[in-house]
Amino acid sequence: MSEFREQVVDFVRDLQSRIVSALEAHEPQMKFKKVSWERPGGGGGDTRVISGGQVFEKGGVNVSVVHGQLPPKMQEKFKSKTTDFFATGVSLVIHPRSPQVPTVHANFRYFEQAERAWFGGGADLTPYVPAPELFRHFHSCFQKACASYALDAYTRFKKECDEYFFLPHRGETRGIGGVFFDYLEGDREKTFEFVKKSGEAFIEAYIPVVEKTKGLKYSERQKKYQLIRRGRYVEFNLIYDRGTLFGLETKGNTESILMSLPPEVHFDFQADLETNEEERQLMGWLKKPVEWADAQT
Active-site residues, by number, are 105
Alpha-carbon radius of gyration of the chain:
19
Counting Cβ atoms within 10 Å, is residue 159 exposed (0-12), middle (13-18) or buried (19+)? middle
The CA-based dihedral angle spanning residues 270, 289, 139, 95, taken in that order and rounded to the nearest 10 degrees: 10
The CA-CA-CA angle for residues 8, 11, 12, to 5°, reads 90
Residue 263 DSSP symbol: S
Q: 262: phi > 0 → left, psi -120 to 50 → alpha, else beta; which?
A: beta
Cα–Cα distance for residue pair 178/146, rounded to 1 Å: 11
